[in-house]
Amino acid sequence: MTKPSVPVGIVCSQSGPYQAMGREILKSAIMAVEEINGQAEFDFSIAPHIRDPRGIVSEYHTVCDDLIRNVGVEHIIGCYTSASRKQVLPIVERTDRLLWYPARYEGFECSDNVIYVGASPNHNVLPLVRYVLDNLSREFFCVGSNYVWTWETNRVTRELVSAANGHILAERLLELGESAVGHIVDEIVRRKPPIVFNTLVGSSSYDFIRAFNAGTKAAGLEIPMLSCSLCEPELAIVGPASAGCITSSAYFESIRLPENRAFVTRWRARYGEDSSPSVDGQSAYVAVYLLARALQRAGTSDIAEVRRAAAGYRYNSPQGPVWIDGGNNHCVLTPRLAVSNPQGQFDIFWEAEAPVKPDPYLTQLDVAVSPSKETSAGGALPNAPHLRVVK
């Protein structure tokens, strides 16, 4: 007997400045859909309806409108940048649909019509900046793309650095897709900052990392670079110049969990031995599974029922246990820090000892207090990240 089919929209850009990440999201989402459709435990199948907004912000609204009106989807997986999510928000709220958003983002949003599967700022920016303040430097040179993620990431960084009596030496911003990075590298070589924090995205970041590596090497400098977004497929795009970047993320291919080993094996069998999953791609994979399990539990695709069924349900994903905090629709994730190596992988050197509650509005943040001492009104914060060295 044929299983009933649930239409699900998948919206990710296959061209434009962040096409590489859009393709990773699509590959992972499709892999999850096909796995789910082949599993007997699900009494339905997912019918994916793929749309490519080509990196054009207004196209996101157009394709979602089409998916909702003409295809009748109730659930959409996708969007990468915050600008694209903000385009889709009004339409999913007005029509009461659910967007499953896989990317990490800058926070300060909480819609009942969005499930935020990627990292909140307390999952990636906070652990990274605090690690650097405690271990490397109190002076930061910031380079980023001129859009909301960089603005907010730099604001949080500035607050933490200022509270530690450090300072931001410079904040240099480039337009999305901009490739003229030479003047920034020249300035870095001239000023020799102890740390460079890179929040550039897509092609700008790849160009910058290559130029930074060449420029600092020629000048005999060793300046650590920080990132909250760099992932394995991007390391492959950049090449050997990408080695040595200290990166904060909830997912790395090198996570030593059985679920991840199995995931990577399936990924390589499907996409080739030389390919690697990425944090945002893996997050899209997690989103499809969270949706499918919620659909199964709810017994309907009605979004209120699915949202209720999804909240608090623990899924042992490739990145470890993940569940949705029903209070804010963001995911509970495990923050990790790693350094990129010449083989195009990340060596994890720290992870939180337990999954950390999402704090999209940074309500629990005390800038002057170290994370292990942070408290909430009710006393000790149970999910504050504690240091645990990963061997």
Partner 1 sequence: MSRRSSFSLRGRKALVAIKDERDATIVRRQFERLGLEGVAWTPAEPVDFAPDLVLIDDEFLPLLQPAQRAFLTRSPVIALLGTETPSRLKLVFELDPASFLIKPLRSAGIYAALVMAFERNERTSELKQQIFKLEQRLRSRRVVLAAVLQVMHSHALTEPASFALIRRTAMEQRKTIEELSAEITARGMLPRATG
Q: Which residues bind partner 1 (CB under 8 A)?
A: 89, 93, 108-112, 327-328, 360-365, 376-377
> Nearer Cβ to partner 1, position 139 or 159?
159
CA distances from 293 to 196, 231, 320 (A): 41, 27, 16
> Nearer Cβ to partner 1, position 111 or 345?
111
> Nearer Cβ to partner 1, position 60 or 251?
60
> Nearer Cβ to partner 1, position 324 or 362?
362
CB of 352 to partner 1, least distance (A): 21
Q: Residue 207: which H helix or E strand, with range? A: helix 202-218
- Give counts: helices (H), strands (E), the chain: 11, 17
CB of 155 to partner 1, least distance (A): 9
Is the four-CA dihedral 317, 319, 320, 326 of positive or negative sign?
A: negative
The conformation of residue 372, written as its DSSP 8-state character, comes to G
* CA atoms of 364 and 356, how far apart (whole Å): 12
* CA atoms of 113 and 85, how far apart (whole Å): 11
* CA atoms of 292 and 314, how far apart (whole Å): 13
* CA atoms of 270 and 292, how far apart (whole Å): 21
> Nearer Cβ to partner 1, position 10 or 356?
356
> Nearer Cβ to partner 1, position 316 or 363?
363
CB of 202 to partner 1, least distance (A): 27
CB of 307 to partner 1, least distance (A): 13
CB of 325 to partner 1, least distance (A): 10
* CA atoms of 84 and 9, how far apart (whole Å): 15
> Nearer Cβ to partner 1, position 110 or 390?
110
> Nearer Cβ to partner 1, position 108 or 179?
108
> Nearer Cβ to partner 1, position 82 or 278?
82
Q: What secondary structure does DSSP assign to 1-64, as a single string?
A: -PPPEEEEEEE--SSSTTHHHHHHHHHHHHHHHHHHHT-TT-SSEEEEEEE--TT-HHHHHHHH
First-residue to last-residue Cα distance in the chain: 49
Q: Which residue has the tokens 């990240």?
A: 385
Closest to 340 measured CA to CA, from 267, 276, 259, 272: 276
CB of 183 to partner 1, least distance (A): 32
> Nearer Cβ to partner 1, position 89 or 142?
89
| 3-state class (DSSP) for residue 277 | coil
CB of 320 to partner 1, least distance (A): 24
The conformation of residue 70, written as its DSSP 8-state character, comes to I
CB of 93 to partner 1, least distance (A): 7
CB of 79 to partner 1, least distance (A): 16
Residues whose CB is less than 8 angstroms from the CB of residue 34 and which lie 6 or more positions away in sequence, other chains included: none
CB of 332 to partner 1, least distance (A): 15
Residues whose CB is less than 8 angstroms from the CB of residue 100 and which lie 6 or more positions away in sequence, other chains included: 75, 76, 77, 78, 114, 115, 117, 287, 288, 290, 291
